């Protein structure tokens, strides 16, 4: 009997032993043979790998907000999970080569170099995919207070910008000092305002000039009485 005959006989023997097990008895011969063909072709290993990918993707969901990912992003996320798994496996191989080979003197330097290069490429790919996904971390309980403070600061800034956009600006007609702001409900009416400038001049005296404006005129100048001083108002 040659080697091929031995292998064939051994494979049939293994199948016959499994065929007698309870979980396979209810299968038809075709179902059983298909199952064994898949088993022997490595389908189980593929399933194990798919399970690892799914577990890794689930772990991403614990730390990142993945609710709004599009189909392309989901494919990238799957590739990211595979890259992490490959990197983990290579790190395990690297450890075994380094520490289970009998010492540094017996390490296969060429093999270690190849492994390190592969890990370096994977890390770059992982970094690129993370940037492409642009996913944000979920807010952890410990960060909730910081998030509330940040939101309050954002609202305060928005309120400040809103008020500044509504205010009318008045500059001294003599020395160009900002002497006041005002806001009125009906700026198109001819509301009159007077501002006295108290700026200290170079000679030590106060400017003392009184600038009088009407809200209607300031409104027509986009909220400032001297637009030449603030050209950004006209951008």
Count how many domains the chain has.
2
Domain assignment present for residue 139? The answer is: no
- In this structure, is residue 3 part of a structural domain? no
Establish if 6 belongs to a structural domain.
no
- Whether 8 is in a domain gets the answer no
Q: Do 176 and 109 belong together in one domain?
A: no
Same domain membership, residue 101 and residue 65: yes
Share of the chain above pLDDT 70, in %: 75
Give the C-alpha separation, 218 to 96, whole Å: 79
171 and 115 share a domain?
no
pTM of the predicted protein model: 0.41
Supply the range of the domain harboring residue 189. 160-234
CA distance 43 to 225: 80
CA distance 52 to 122: 17
Does residue 169 carry a pLDDT above 80? yes
What is the model's pLDDT at position 7?
A: 38
Q: Does residue 48 sit in the same domain as residue 117?
A: yes
pLDDT for 172: 95
Q: What are 6-58's pLDDT values in tens digits?
A: 333 445 546 677 777 766 677 777 777 766 666 655 555 667 778 888 888 88
Q: Identify whether 98 is part of a domain.
A: yes
* pLDDT bucket at 198, cuts 50 / 70 / 90: very high
Is 139 within 8 Å of 65 (Cβ atoms)? no
Dihedral sign (CA 57, 62, 63, 69): positive
Three-state DSSP state, 168:
strand
107 and 69: one domain?
A: yes
What digits encode the pLDDT tens for the residues 172-189? 999 999 999 998 888 888
Asked if residues 39 and 21 have their Cβ atoms less than 8 Å apart, the reply is: no
Out of 133, 151, 186, a domain closes at 133
Pair 64, 100 in one domain: yes
Question: In this model, does residue 61 exceed pLDDT 70?
Answer: yes
Does residue 37 lie within any of the structural domains? no
> Is residue 230 packed enough to be buried (19+ CB in 10 Å), middle (13-18) or exposed (0-12)?
middle
Q: Which of 78-92, 143-157, 164-178 is least confident?
A: 143-157
Boundary of a domain, candidates 115, 133, 151: 133
Among 75, 98, 133, which residue terminates a domain? 133
List phi, psi (to 5°) of 68: -100, 15
User: Which strand (E) or helix (H) includes residue 195?
Assistant: strand 192-196
The pLDDT value recorded for residue 231 is 73
Q: For residue 195, name the pLDDT band (cuts at 50, 70, 90).
A: very high
Q: pLDDT tens across 79-104, in order?
A: 989 999 999 888 888 877 776 655 55
Percentage of residues of the chain with pLDDT beyond 90: 22
User: Do the domain assignments include residue 144?
Assistant: no
Number of residues written out for the chain: 235
Tens digits of per-residue pLDDT, 201-216?
999 999 999 999 999 9
In this structure, is residue 16 part of a structural domain? no
């Amino acid at each position: 009997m040659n080697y091929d005959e031995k292998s064939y006989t051994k494979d049939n023997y293994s199948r016959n032993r499994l065929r007698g097990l309870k979980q396979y008895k209810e299968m038809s011969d075709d179902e059983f043979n298909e199952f064994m063909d898949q088993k022997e072709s490595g389908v189980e290993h593929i399933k194990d790998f798919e399970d690892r990918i799914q577990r890794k993707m689930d772990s991403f969901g614990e730390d990142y907000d993945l609710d709004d990912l599009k189909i392309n992003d989901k494919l990238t996320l799957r590739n990211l999970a595979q890259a992490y798994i490959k990197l983990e496996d290579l790190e395990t191989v690297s450890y075994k080569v380094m520490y289970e080979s009998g010492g540094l003197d017996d390490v296969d330097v060429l093999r270690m170099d190849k492994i390190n290069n592969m890990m370096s490429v994977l890390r770059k790919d992982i970094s690129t995919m993370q940037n492409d996904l642009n996913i944000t971390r979920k807010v952890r309980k410990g960060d909730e207070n910081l998030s509330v403070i940040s939101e309050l600061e954002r609202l305060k800034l928005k309120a400040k910008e809103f008020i500044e956009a509504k205010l009318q600006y008045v500059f001294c007609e003599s020395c160009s000092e900002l002497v006041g702001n005002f806001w009125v409900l009906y700026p198109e009416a001819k509301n009159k305002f007077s501002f006295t400038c108290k700026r200290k001049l170079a000679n030590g005296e106060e400017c003392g000039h009184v600038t009088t404006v009407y809200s209607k005129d300031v409104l027509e100048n986009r909220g400032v009485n001297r637009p030449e001083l603030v050209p950004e108002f006209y951008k």
